[in-house]
Amino acid sequence: MTSFADEAAIAFDNLADRAANLVNPSIRLGVTGLARAGKTVFISSLIHNLLHGGRLPLFEPLQAGRISATRLEPQPDDAVPRFQYEDHIRALVKDRIWPDSTRAISELRLTIAYESASGWNRLFSPGRLSVDIVDYPGEWLLDLPLLSQDYRDFSAATVGLARTGIRAELSREWLERTATVDGDAPADETLARELAERFTAYLRACRADERSLSTLPPGRFLMPGDLDGSPALTFAPLPDLPDTRAPKGSLRAMMERRYEAYKSVVVKPFFREHFARLDRQIVLVDALQAINRGPEAVQDLERALTDVLACFRAGSNSFLTALVRRRIDRVLVAATKADHLHHESHDRLEAITRRLVDRATTRIGMTGAGIEVMAIASVRATREATVKQNGDELPVVVGTPMAGETVGKERFDGNRKTAIFPGDLPADPERFFRSVDDAGHGAYLPELNIVRFRPPQIEETGGGVTLSVPHIRLDRAMQFLLGDKLA
């Protein structure tokens, strides 16, 4: 995936980071996830709970009273945009709207003053840890496997996937147009732009809520930013390419050159400057949305997670690797929005997510890294209750559905609270992984009522102090990712 020059640059960056750590101990925590997973909400809730003394009973350093102060500080990377925590938490707490999703990389430094649980460590530790939170889109992470693929391999894999299952219908217009194209004909800028636009439309259709598919590289096609309209984003896969050199000046040669430019301009800098410098990683997944769409969306999420986990330089850090080629020694895969279900189904959501991760780690032979799976809600938007229906008691969740959400024939206005029976997940996660043919036979569709809720109303104390954001298992996630560093 990387050249000798890339590895040398990575080693230099790591040495610089380790030298800085001698003065100010720090850990780089990567936060990523696929669309709709709630990366911004997770980071905002984590910071808010630490700054406002949130209820974190499973976060041992805080529960034991060893954390004396937590503060935000200027981030160390001046060229990286700051994660705008203040804007995001205002949207959550004051406006009760979900903040904008992650569109680019950002960073924030949170410094924790603490007392070590070990008397010996207290003699040598400064009692201070800076957590550099690096927020980046999961779509960028899914681009990393492209570094090991040439244009022909990329085209074959992308077109092959586009011809399967529900993607076959979504890709029809793009593939029918591509089938009329001669890759060895002279390059044509107008045609290249048309193919790129049709390919991008196919990727957007896959990502739409009603499909919720996850494997969608190249990621910048869906969030181009300042590269919009550039040649590096004006290419598309071509089907059934021959195993021969592309004729000079041909459309295929143009596409190959632009694909390689995409890797050089977009993918490699992200890997070298950010991804390769991470110490810990959390991957947030909206498994519930995929479950609600059925087995094909779940299996596509499994494929995406396999690609994601394959990118991590995971494993235990020796003295040498810690200096020049650090490894990610803890990875947390968290299924978000657990508050949309009654707690009786939380263990089933976790079991399905663990099944996704277990198969992924087996396929890529991932060993040596601490991998954990949890079902969490970074911000708990509901409370639980029971209602009687036909003499039976049903477990429900109570919250304020967002404007426009519907259940049956009822449409919500965004102001009225309601109780919703979310349904039950199956006890056997394998039901989502049985083979599904092109006609959809064998598919298992759960009877779920998944509704998007507004953020909760946060109460204030008599002195006007805002209470911390409620959550589900955020403290458990923090203990896994940071607890040992504060021991």
**Which CATH number goes with the domain that contains 292?**
3.40.50.300
Question: Are 190 and 107 found together in one domain?
Answer: no
**Are residues 481 and 351 both part of a single domain?**
yes
- The per-residue pLDDT for 131 is 97
Residue 105 belongs to domain spanning: 4-136+274-380+472-486
The one-character DSSP state at 466 is: B
Same domain, 227 and 285: no
**Distance, CA of 397 to CA of 346 (rounded, Å):** 13
- 17 and 131 housed in the same domain: yes
Burial class (CB in 10 A: 0-12, 13-18, 19+), 437: exposed
The label of the residue with tokens 């050199």 reads 245
CB 300 within 8 A of CB 289: no
What does the alpha-carbon distance between residue 105 and residue 89 come to, in Å, rounded to a whole number? 18
372 pairs with which residues across the strands? 332
Cα gap 276→306, rounded to integer Å = 18
pLDDT surpasses 60 at 160: yes
> Closest by alpha carbon to 338, among 411, 259, 402, 425?
425
My answer on whether omega of the bond before 242 falls inside 30° of 0, hence cis, is: no
- Confidence category of residue 316, pLDDT binned at 50, 70, 90: low
Considering 220, 239, 268, which residue would you say is the last residue of a domain?
268
Residues 159 and 256 in one domain: yes
pLDDT tens-digit readout, 9-22: 656 566 666 656 65
Examine residue 328 and state whether it is found in any structural domain, yes or no. yes
pLDDT of residue 325: 59
More confident residue, 309 or 35: 309
Residues 477 and 341 in one domain: yes
Residue range 369-411, pLDDT digits in tens: 688 999 999 999 999 999 887 878 889 999 999 999 988 788 9
Residues 231, 161 share a domain: yes
Evaluate if residue 35 carries a pLDDT over 90: no
Q: Which two tokens stand for residue 194?
A: 């048309």
In a domain, 389, yes or no: no
User: Is 216 among the domain residues?
Assistant: yes
The identity of residue 332, as a single letter, is: L
Q: What percent of the chain has pLDDT over 90?
A: 56
233 in the same domain as 180: yes
What's the number of CA atoms in the CB half-sphere (13 Å) around residue 12?
A: 8
**Tokens standing for 14?**
């790591």
Each residue's pLDDT tens digit, 104-140? 899 999 999 999 877 666 656 668 999 999 999 888 8
Average pLDDT over residues 349-374: 80
> Do residues 479 and 350 share a domain?
yes
453: in domain = no
Q: Which residues in 7-37 are b (16+ Cβ under 10 Å) and which e?
A: eebbeebbeebeeeeeeeebbbbbbbbbbbb
272: Cβ–Cβ under 8 A, 6 or more apart, which residues? 2, 6, 9, 10, 13
Tens digit of each residue's pLDDT (9 = 90 or more) over 232-246 = 999 999 999 999 999
Residue 323 or 39, more confident: 39
State yes or no: pLDDT of 187 exceeds 90. Answer: yes
Q: Tell me, yes or no, whether 263 and 278 share the same domain.
A: no
Q: How far apart are CA 382 and CA 470, in angstroms?
A: 10
Domain count for the chain, please give it. Answer: 2
| CB distance 381 to 341 below 8 Å | no
Query: Is residue 418 included in any domain, yes or no?
Result: no
Residue that is written with structure tokens 């640059």 in the block:
9
Q: What is the mean pLDDT of the chain?
A: 87
Point out the least confidently predicted range of 1-10, 143-152, 184-193, 203-212. 1-10
Q: 195-228, pLDDT tens digit by residue?
A: 999 999 999 999 887 788 888 899 999 988 888 8
Identify the weakest region by mean pLDDT among 4-8, 50-54, 236-240, 336-340.
4-8
The pLDDT value recorded for residue 482 is 96
> Residue 237 corresponds to which tokens in the numbers above?
């896969």
One domain, residues 367 and 482? yes
CA proximity to 105, closest of 250, 272, 256: 272
Burial class for 371, CB neighbours closer than 10 Å (0-12, 13-18, 19+): buried
The answer to whether position 462 is within a domain reads no
Give residues with Cβ within 8 angstroms of 422, minimum separation 6. 340, 341, 342, 345, 396, 397, 448, 449, 450, 451
Positive/negative CA dihedral, 341, 85, 108, 274: positive
Residue 436 in contact with residue 443, Cβ under 8 Å? yes
Residue 4 clears pLDDT 70, i.e. is over it: no
Q: Which of 268, 289, 322 is the last residue of a domain?
A: 268
* 432-462 pLDDT, tens digit each: 777 655 445 556 667 788 889 999 998 766 5
pLDDT at 390: 80
Q: Kindly state the average pLDDT of the residues 148-156.
A: 95
Measured CA to CA, the distance from residue 276 to residue 25 in angstroms comes to: 18
* CA distances, 92 to each of 42, 95, 296, 379, 475 (Å): 11, 6, 33, 9, 19
Q: Is the pLDDT of residue 323 over 60?
A: no
